[in-house]
Amino acid sequence: MNHVVTLQDAITAFADFIEPTNAELDAIEREMPVILADVDLLDAHIVTLDRTPTEVDER
């Protein structure tokens, strides 16, 4: 007979270690302007990829 075991007990045992520390949250907060700038840049790239090329684009 095969037993089906979930990972819930193993994951729950380490639940306190899964959450980010205050230092990690502070580092994310400091990097947030760069992260948001990267998101804006990716959005701009997606817009240019998702449109019909113009005559200027072809040149």
Residue-level pLDDT, tens digit, the chain, 59 residues? 666 666 666 666 666 677 888 999 999 999 999 999 999 999 999 988 878 888 887 77
Nearest to 48 by CA among 36, 57, 59: 57
Which residues lie closer than 8 Å to 20 by C-beta, 6 or more apart? 28
pTM of the model: 0.53
